[in-house]
Structure 1
Amino acid sequence: MERIPALISLLVMVMVIEMARTSAEQENKSSSAGLFWSTAKEEGDLVHKAGPADDSTAAVDNADGGFSSLDGMLQWAIGHSDSAKLKETAQDVQRLSPSELNQRQLEIKELVEKLKMPSDAQLMQIALDDLNNSSLSIEDRHHALQELLILVEPIDNANDFCKLGGLAVIIRELNHPDPDIRKISAWILGKASQNNPYVQKQVLELGALAKLMEMVNSSSADEATKAFYAVSALIRNNVAGQQLFYVEAGDKMLQDILSNPSVDARLRRKAVFLVGDLAECQLENIDKAEMPFFSNHLFLKSVVDLTASNDLDLQDKALVAIKNLLQLRTTEATVFKDFCRLDDALERMKKQLEDLMLEEYHREYVIDVEGLRKEVELIFQAKLGKVITVPT
Structure 2
Amino acid sequence: MARISAIVSTLLLLFAVTAVVATSVEHENQSSSAGLFWSTAKEGGDLVHKSGDATATADDIDGGFSSLDGMLQWAIGHSDPAKLKEKAQDVKRLSPSELRQRQLEIKELMEKLKMPSDAQLMQIALDDLSNSSLSLEDRHRALQELLILVEPIDNANDMCKLGGLGVITRELDHSDSDVRKLSAWILGKASQNNPYVQKQVLEIGALATLMKMVNSSSADEATKAFYAVSALIRNNVGGQQLFFMEAGDKMLQDILSNPSVDIRLRRKAVFLVGDLAECQLENTDKAEMLFFSNSLLLKSVVDLTASGDLDLQEKALVAIKNLLQLKTTEAMVFEEFCRLGEALERMKKQLEEDHREYAIDVESLRKEVELAFQAKLENGRAVPT
| Residue from 240, 243, 246 that aligns with 2:241 | 243
Q: Residues 248-267 of structure 1 correspond to what in structure 2 (within 5 A)?
A: 248-267=246-265
Q: Residues 116-265 of structure 1 correspond to what in structure 2 (within 5 A)?
A: 116-265=114-263
Q: What amino acid does structure 2 have at the position aligned with 1:389? A: A
Q: What amino acid does structure 1 have at the position aligned with 2:330? A: E
Aligned position for 2:366: 373
CA displacement 1:219-248 (0-9 Å, x = unmatched): 111111110000000000000000000111
| Residue from 358, 381, 384 that aligns with 1:388 | 381
Q: What amino acid does structure 1 have at the position aligned with 2:373? A: F
Aligned position for 1:93: none
CA displacement 1:86-118 (0-9 Å, x = unmatched): xx99xxxxxxxxxxxxxxx9x989734664432
Q: Residues 108-123 of structure 1 correspond to what in structure 2 (within 5 A)?
A: 111-112=109-110, 115-123=113-121
Quickly say closer, same or farther: Cα 1:114–1:147, change in 2 above 3 A: farther
Contact 1:67 1:116 in 2 (8 A): no
- Between the aligned partners of 2:154 and 2:66, the Cα distance in structure 1 is 19
CA displacement 1:137-182 (0-9 Å, x = unmatched): 1001101111111111111111111111111110000000000000
Displacement after TM superposition at 1:57 (Å): 5.8
Aligned position for 1:309: 307
Displacement after TM superposition at 1:132 (Å): 1.1
CA displacement 1:235-284 (0-9 Å, x = unmatched): 00000000000111111111111111111111111111000000000001
| Residue from 261, 270, 273 that aligns with 2:271 | 273
Quickly say closer, same or farther: Cα 1:67–1:292, change in 2 above 3 A: closer
Q: What amino acid does structure 2 have at the position aligned with 1:59? A: D
Displacement after TM superposition at 1:297 (Å): 1.5
- Between the aligned partners of 2:376 and 2:67, the Cα distance in structure 1 is 64
CA displacement 1:296-321 (0-9 Å, x = unmatched): 21111111001011011111110011
Task: Count matched residues.
Answer: 310
Contact 2:56 2:116 in 1 (8 A): no
- More deviation, 112-121/164-173: 112-121
Displacement after TM superposition at 1:382 (Å): 0.7
Displacement after TM superposition at 1:389 (Å): 3.4
Displacement after TM superposition at 1:367 (Å): 1.4
Q: What amino acid does structure 2 have at the position aligned with 1:377? A: E
Contact 1:65 1:116 in 2 (8 A): no
Percent pairwise identity: 78
Q: Match of 1:356, SS?
A: coil
Aligned position for 1:341: 339
Q: Match of 2:287, SS?
A: coil
Quickly say closer, same or farther: Cα 1:225–1:108, change in 2 above 3 A: closer
| Residue from 317, 320, 328 that aligns with 1:319 | 317
- Between the aligned partners of 1:114 and 1:154, the Cα distance in structure 2 is 28
User: 5+ residue gaps in structure 2?
Assistant: 1-12, 22-29, 36-49, 58-63, 69-95
Q: What amino acid does structure 2 have at the position aligned with 1:217? A: N
- Between the aligned partners of 1:319 and 1:304, the Cα distance in structure 2 is 8
Q: Match of 1:232, SS?
A: helix
Displacement after TM superposition at 1:58 (Å): 6.7
Quickly say closer, same or farther: Cα 1:108–1:236, change in 2 above 3 A: closer
- Between the aligned partners of 1:188 and 1:178, the Cα distance in structure 2 is 16
- Between the aligned partners of 1:61 and 1:209, the Cα distance in structure 2 is 37
Aligned position for 2:55: 61
- Between the aligned partners of 2:372 and 2:106, the Cα distance in structure 1 is 72
Q: What amino acid does structure 2 have at the position aligned with 1:369? A: V
- More deviation, 275-284/110-119: 110-119
Quickly say closer, same or farther: Cα 1:65–1:116, change in 2 above 3 A: farther
Q: What amino acid does structure 2 have at the position aligned with 1:139? A: E
Displacement after TM superposition at 1:4 (Å): 4.5
- Between the aligned partners of 2:125 and 2:308, the Cα distance in structure 1 is 44
- Between the aligned partners of 2:67 and 2:156, the Cα distance in structure 1 is 24
Quickly say closer, same or farther: Cα 1:4–1:115, change in 2 above 3 A: farther
> TM-score if structure 1 supplies the norm length?
0.73
CA displacement 1:153-212 (0-9 Å, x = unmatched): 111111111111111110000000000000010000000000000000000000000000
Contact 2:51 2:67 in 1 (8 A): no
Displacement after TM superposition at 1:391 (Å): 4.7
- Between the aligned partners of 2:201 and 2:66, the Cα distance in structure 1 is 32
